[in-house]
């Protein structure tokens, strides 16, 4: 697991921080926090989660 994804999960689960609090602590957007807490690969491109993009393409197909 990538270090930034691990950090998000630790802050969210162990320290029970909100998405907004994690974003502030890690100096990133709330979208990045959401992506890193749900994406199986733990990385994003820009502000959109690649897993979410792939899921959107699969739904429309």
Residue 45 is predicted with a pLDDT of 55
pTM listed for this prediction: 0.64
Residue 22 is predicted with a pLDDT of 96
Write down all domains in the chain, each with its CATH number in brackets: 3-60 (1.10.10)
Contacts of 27 (CB under 8 A, 6+ apart): none
Taking the C-alpha atoms of residue 11 and residue 60, their distance in angstroms, rounded to an integer, is 34
Query: Tens place of pLDDT for every residue, the chain, 61 residues?
Result: 889 999 999 999 999 999 999 999 999 999 999 988 886 655 565 544 544 555 554 444 4
Residue 12 is predicted with a pLDDT of 93
């Amino acid at each position: 697991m990538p270090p930034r994804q691990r950090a998000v999960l630790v802050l969210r689960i162990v320290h029970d921080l909100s998405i907004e609090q994690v974003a502030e602590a890690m100096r990133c957007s709330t979208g990045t926090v959401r992506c890193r807490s749900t994406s199986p690969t733990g990385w994003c491109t820009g502000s959109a989660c690649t897993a979410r993009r792939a899921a959107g393409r699969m739904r429309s197909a």
